[in-house]
Structure 1
Amino acid sequence: MIGAGIGSRIGRNADIHSQGRYLPPGHDAIAKPRARRQGGAEGRTPSQRRIFLSLALFAACFTLVGARLVGLAIMGGDGGDNIAVASGSTQIHRPDIVDRNGEVMATDIATASLFADARYVIDPAETARQLVGVLPDLNVKDVTAKLEAGGAFVWLKRDLTPKQQYAVHYLGMPGLDFRSEQKRVYPNGKTGSNVLGMVDIDNRGIAGIERYMDKSLGRADDTGRPNFDRNSTLMLSVDLHVQHALRDELEKSMAEFRALAAVGVIMDVHTGEVVAMTSLPDFDPNDPMASPDDTRFNRATLGVYEMGSVFKAVTLAAALDSGRVRLDGRFDATQPLQVARFKIHDYHAENRWLSVPEVFVHSSNIGTAKIALQLGGEEHRQYLQRFGLLTRPQIELPEAGAPLTPARWTELATITTSFGHGIAVTPLQVASAVSTIVNGGFKVEPTFLRHNEPRLGERVISAETSATMRGLLRLVVMEGTGRKADVAGYPVMGKTGTAEKPMNGGYSRTKLITSFISAFPANDPRYAMIVMFDEPKATKETYGYATAGWNAAPVTARVISRVAPLLGITPATKPQESDVLREAKLVSFGTANGQ
């Protein structure tokens, strides 16, 4: 019981005067003593003396009981607190959550909550009216109904500010009291909200890392509520400064392209640590209900999307690693590919034979489909499984989406999944797959907790294949659809993806999901990133185009130019060209190009 509760407990007793009238706090009226009976005690009859002694004894008992109640109110004894503890929620003290550099992202502060013991409320309607006068967000009818119910404990308002607490205390209304509680505070507002999640009114985690804390770090008591070590701190993999930069750029770009939503994930390619993650629109965890419901939907980890041509990086890596396709191989893209009643077209048709690097650089659907068929449907599916694209990701956040995959792996399924249609995955899964492609070929599991050592899993592709893919991804940025993603001093590798959204059993030609996968710096990749927009619109500056090369790619460049220095990456004065890149350029644009 906090000190502010003393006045209201005293008020129940001190303001009930011997005349049987209730005097409001601060009332100056003093009961006038009656004129003394002439003759004093000697003049009283035996009956009067007995009545006088009985009244004196009653007054003494009343004084003792009153003193005891005042003492309990002042000392916080068992008598009053048992009412609150029996019916109220148990306080939960949560550990601080900090970013990888120790900056606070979530913490507890002491607060007070208002409750009533309605048995001591003299006038429920008047009490409700007075309360609403200082707490205008309350409703007079609702408060009156609660007080008229006569319960020993009823919450009236949780998490009062000190100013609100003082105002209620100053009313001095009998039957009202306060209870000390913990309130979760997020100093950075919306920044990192989809990682942190939120707590309920009783300070229990219900989403994000807050939910993970309750399930994995808290020791449940007899009521099932988590108990934490008050001296513990949970350190995340997130870098708050990088997180802010990513969110800021995506928020501006989402408005620029009038997109429905935007997603960004930055991941350490060797540890799987998520250094930053943003899903827009987002919410303020200090007041989550103030935002629409869809702002609490984590598009980065729970939303699944047909990602389009970014999947070509996985398909090509699998084909090259299997040995069934060689870098100097060539594929006929002179005509659309007919499969049953479907025709596979190229968005930017070259209408000629393409080398493997050209298939990738020009993002040919026809060429990629033929590469997947040469790899074989079952082997293609197995590689997707090994990359972690066919199963729900095992992450700390409870918001983890399960991919949508073909019911049967037919020839058509092999073709469409090769270029990112007919399969829907989370952006986080794609970032993890990119990390595997560029880190030497090792699987990495995404994590939102800080790890100091590499966490490389099983080998998915060979080191040689990984090196080849790094060269091809760099070539896309230098010569292909990803030109606008490059950053001076921080060479970027990547791949564009533009997917038509599924609509009414088919696909929309105008509603798109655009994305760009990248890794940087290209000479020694340390971080992978995905930027994604849901239904971006064309602008005057994009010359009427709404594809990834015109929105997701340049936004990637803006993000990298801001976060690379924050991540300690030294600018390259003269980027070196790898042997693989030189070979890819020779195969793509050399003498063999004439076939």
Structure 2
Amino acid sequence: MTHDRRCAVLPHVPTRTDGTFRRAIETGRSRLLITGAVMAFAFAAVGVRLVDLGAFASPATQAETTHAVTETAMATDRATIVDRNGVIVATSLTTTALAARPDRLLDPIQAARRLARVFPELDVADLEAKLTSDSPFVYIHRKLTPKMEMAVMQLGIPGLEFERAETRVYPQGRLMAHVLGFTDIDGRGLAGIEQGLETRLKESDEPLRLSLDVRFQHVAHQELAAAIETYDAIGGAALVMDARTGEVLSLVSLPDFDPNKPAASPDVNRFNRATFGTYELGSTFKIFNTAMALESGAATLSDGYDATNPIQVGRFLIRDYHGKGRYLTVPEIFVYSSNIGSAKMALDVGPPAQKAFMSALGMLQPIALEIPETGRPQFPETWRPVNTMTVSYGHGLSVTPLHLASGVASMVNGGILFPPTLLARDEMPIGRRIISEPVSFDMRRLLRLNAVAGSGKRALVPGYMVGGKTGTADKPNGSGYNRRSRISSFVASFPMNDPRYVVYVVLDEPQGTKETFGFATGGWVAAPAVAAIIERIGAIAGIQPVEEDAPELQHAFAIELPEETKRLASLQQ
């Protein structure tokens, strides 16, 4: 008998567990469908809005949206600084700082050694000291690059923290170092505009607009550096000022420094020769002396003084370089740069009136500027007749180059002194009258005469009607003056038929060369640099050259001189 071993197939009977499972699957399927529908609707809505903004929104709406995004992304704790044309010269970038909380570190010594491998410029011993200190919070690195940040994250060290920070950067490098200054690691201004306008930069989001023009600054920086190198000077300064408003369009002091790395340069490089250094500026002061005499009525262009013999003052002599040994008219005194004639002219005005005139010009007070580096003029406590004589030709009164440029601007612009500024002026400032318009025009005629027939010939630029004055002064050395160490300068204005700019170049201890026949005076070493600056910025400013020989200009600027004066004047001044 055989047995059938096949098992009968029994019908499946649903169980309670199986039903619950099916219901769960159906519920999940429904939820997925709903979620998918919601997401599809959301994406559709976003897509429609993007099409609407891109294809149908008005330009104004698009600009507002872009502006809002930009403002959010670019918001910083310190305002950007721009030049007068909107070129960024200082701004803040968001960076990351690495800090540590020593009490949360599991192994401070090991952490220090691992961090030193990421930052090889940091000293391991210093890191260990920081991470084992009792301080609750210490900085390890203040300016992390994204690559550095990723490397630290990969270390996985508990107790390290990343902190949002800002880094002040100066895209133009050294170009405006002394004007801008710099900040410390915490963003506090330590010099220049950064320090002088600290509150404004911290409290306003609007860019701070300077009066300086990056293009003018570049020209002045290049030409001053070339002059310093050519004549082996120890330093110098160059200024360009708007004679009509008092705005400083260029201010250079050399040697300088990189504000991105101020500590990398010697301390002396941070000295601002243009606004902080005070110097006896020599015969450039004859501009003020002559204007003072004409304004007071003590002299006219038709008058003159006997410059035959030196003036004995105690044990000192006031003499002329290559003196003419004769009577000189006022224009000749200016063109020949006669110390004797200038001294006698000043004595006719008198010590009290001279001191009052210099005070009105701002020569006895520091200039109220937007930077803290402003020098205090040095002048005699008791203003005696001998002081009046020496001040007339630029000795015994020390001022900054900015003082000089500002004063000259008032001499040529119609007689109004405008307070100098490093900030752009959108409105005409209120000035103070120093001399009358007729006297101002006479000074323009004299400055033009000196450039054409006197010591300013090397500053001439055809078509720009340049007028100017040289200045050379021996530097004081305690009890007297060092005749082998001098300040040589040249100040000019152009165009003299309608003055717009004052340009001033100062060289500290220049040396004569073969090309200058060994001379290192202002007419030889500073005037050519002024000419180079004028030629370049005149083109940038769009000044149209004039026909200098036009009869109307020749007639307006004509000054009659004796025949001898028509020969080239001495360049010793």
Q: TM-score, normalised by structure 2?
A: 0.83
Partner of 1:122: 106
CA drift of 1:370 comes to 0.8
CA drift of 1:169 comes to 2.4
- Given that 2:489 and 2:522 are in contact with CA atoms closer than 8 Å, whether structure 1 keeps it comes out as yes
Q: How does 1:421-460 map to 2 (within 5 A)?
A: 421-460=395-434
Establish whether residue 364 from structure 1 lines up as the match of residue 335 from structure 2: no
CA distance in 1, matches of 2:322, 2:99: 68
Which of 531, 535, 538 aligns to 1:564? It is 538
Evaluate the alpha carbon distance shift between residue 200 and residue 584 of structure 1 in structure 2; reply closer, same or farther with a 3 A threshold. Answer: farther
Q: How does 1:399-438 map to 2 (within 5 A)?
A: 399-438=373-412
CA distance in 2, matches of 1:588, 1:464: 27
Evaluate the alpha carbon distance shift between residue 455 and residue 585 of structure 1 in structure 2; reply closer, same or farther with a 3 A threshold. Answer: farther
CA drift of 1:347 comes to 1.6
Partner of 1:582: 558
CA distance in 1, matches of 2:309, 2:197: 55
Which of 136, 156, 159 aligns to 1:172? It is 156
CA distance in 1, matches of 2:466, 2:542: 16
Which of 325, 349, 362 aligns to 2:299? It is 325
CA distance in 2, matches of 1:161, 1:262: 38
Establish whether residue 139 from structure 1 lines up as the match of residue 115 from structure 2: no
- Given that 1:491 and 1:575 are in contact with CA atoms closer than 8 Å, whether structure 2 keeps it comes out as no
Evaluate the alpha carbon distance shift between residue 151 and residue 456 of structure 1 in structure 2; reply closer, same or farther with a 3 A threshold. Answer: closer
CA drift of 1:102 comes to 0.6
Moved more, 437-446 or 91-100: 91-100
* Deviation per residue, 1:347-373 (Å, 9 max, x gap): 222122111111110111111111111
- The 3-state SS of whatever aligns with 1:582 is coil
CA drift of 1:584 comes to 4.4
CA distance in 1, matches of 2:404, 2:474: 18
CA distance in 2, matches of 1:512, 1:319: 28
Evaluate the alpha carbon distance shift between residue 160 and residue 335 of structure 1 in structure 2; reply closer, same or farther with a 3 A threshold. Answer: same
Establish whether residue 353 from structure 1 lines up as the match of residue 327 from structure 2: yes
Q: How does 1:95-244 map to 2 (within 5 A)?
A: 95-215=79-199, 217=200, 227-230=202-205, 232-244=206-218
- The 3-state SS of whatever aligns with 2:374 is coil
Q: TM-score, normalised by structure 1?
A: 0.80
* Deviation per residue, 1:499-528 (Å, 9 max, x gap): 000013110011000111110112211011
CA drift of 1:343 comes to 0.3
- Given that 2:101 and 2:160 are in contact with CA atoms closer than 8 Å, whether structure 1 keeps it comes out as yes
- The 3-state SS of whatever aligns with 2:239 is strand
Partner of 2:64: none
Partner of 1:273: 247
CA distance in 1, matches of 2:494, 2:422: 20
Q: Flag structure 2 segments of 5+ consecutive residues without an equivalent.
A: 1-74, 567-573
* Deviation per residue, 1:254-302 (Å, 9 max, x gap): 1111111110111111110000100111111111111111111111111
CA distance in 2, matches of 1:492, 1:587: 23
CA distance in 2, matches of 1:112, 1:589: 70
CA distance in 2, matches of 1:579, 1:116: 78
Corresponding pairs, count: 490
Evaluate the alpha carbon distance shift between residue 256 and residue 481 of structure 1 in structure 2; reply closer, same or farther with a 3 A threshold. Answer: same
Moved more, 154-163 or 427-436: 154-163
CA distance in 1, matches of 2:268, 2:111: 39
Moved more, 420-429 or 161-170: 161-170
Evaluate the alpha carbon distance shift between residue 255 and residue 170 of structure 1 in structure 2; reply closer, same or farther with a 3 A threshold. Answer: farther
CA distance in 2, matches of 1:143, 1:262: 43
CA distance in 1, matches of 2:285, 2:170: 37
- The 3-state SS of whatever aligns with 1:198 is coil
CA drift of 1:550 comes to 0.7
- Given that 1:345 and 1:366 are in contact with CA atoms closer than 8 Å, whether structure 2 keeps it comes out as yes
Which of 269, 275, 281 aligns to 1:307? It is 281
- Given that 1:355 and 1:587 are in contact with CA atoms closer than 8 Å, whether structure 2 keeps it comes out as no
- The 3-state SS of whatever aligns with 1:174 is coil
- Match of 1:249, as an amino acid? E
Q: Percent identity?
A: 46
CA distance in 2, matches of 1:492, 1:268: 15
CA distance in 2, matches of 1:428, 1:276: 11
CA distance in 2, matches of 1:454, 1:234: 19
- Match of 2:163, as an amino acid? R
Partner of 1:471: 445
CA distance in 2, matches of 1:443, 1:588: 36
Evaluate the alpha carbon distance shift between residue 589 and residue 309 of structure 1 in structure 2; reply closer, same or farther with a 3 A threshold. Answer: closer
- The 3-state SS of whatever aligns with 2:173 is coil
CA distance in 2, matches of 1:547, 1:589: 20
- The 3-state SS of whatever aligns with 2:175 is coil
CA drift of 1:457 comes to 1.2
- The 3-state SS of whatever aligns with 1:181 is strand
Moved more, 513-522 or 577-586: 577-586
- The 3-state SS of whatever aligns with 1:532 is strand
Establish whether residue 507 from structure 1 lines up as the match of residue 491 from structure 2: no
CA drift of 1:378 comes to 1.1
- Given that 2:417 and 2:434 are in contact with CA atoms closer than 8 Å, whether structure 1 keeps it comes out as yes
- Given that 1:92 and 1:202 are in contact with CA atoms closer than 8 Å, whether structure 2 keeps it comes out as no
CA drift of 1:172 comes to 2.3
CA drift of 1:578 comes to 5.0
- Given that 1:468 and 1:580 are in contact with CA atoms closer than 8 Å, whether structure 2 keeps it comes out as no
Which of 351, 354, 361 aligns to 1:380? It is 354
Evaluate the alpha carbon distance shift between residue 578 and residue 451 of structure 1 in structure 2; reply closer, same or farther with a 3 A threshold. Answer: farther
CA drift of 1:575 comes to 4.8
CA drift of 1:582 comes to 1.0
- Match of 1:552, as an amino acid? A
Evaluate the alpha carbon distance shift between residue 325 and residue 426 of structure 1 in structure 2; reply closer, same or farther with a 3 A threshold. Answer: same
* Deviation per residue, 1:18-70 (Å, 9 max, x gap): xxxxxxxxxxxxxxxxxxxxxxxxxxxxxxxxxxxxxxxxxxxxxxxxxxxxx
CA distance in 1, matches of 2:530, 2:379: 28
Moved more, 439-448 or 170-179: 170-179
CA distance in 1, matches of 2:103, 2:284: 67
- Given that 1:328 and 1:587 are in contact with CA atoms closer than 8 Å, whether structure 2 keeps it comes out as no
- The 3-state SS of whatever aligns with 1:500 is strand
- The 3-state SS of whatever aligns with 1:494 is strand
Evaluate the alpha carbon distance shift between residue 351 and residue 586 of structure 1 in structure 2; reply closer, same or farther with a 3 A threshold. Answer: closer
CA distance in 1, matches of 2:86, 2:270: 25
CA distance in 2, matches of 1:234, 1:521: 30
Partner of 2:71: none
CA distance in 2, matches of 1:323, 1:115: 72
- Given that 1:114 and 1:179 are in contact with CA atoms closer than 8 Å, whether structure 2 keeps it comes out as yes
CA drift of 1:316 comes to 0.5
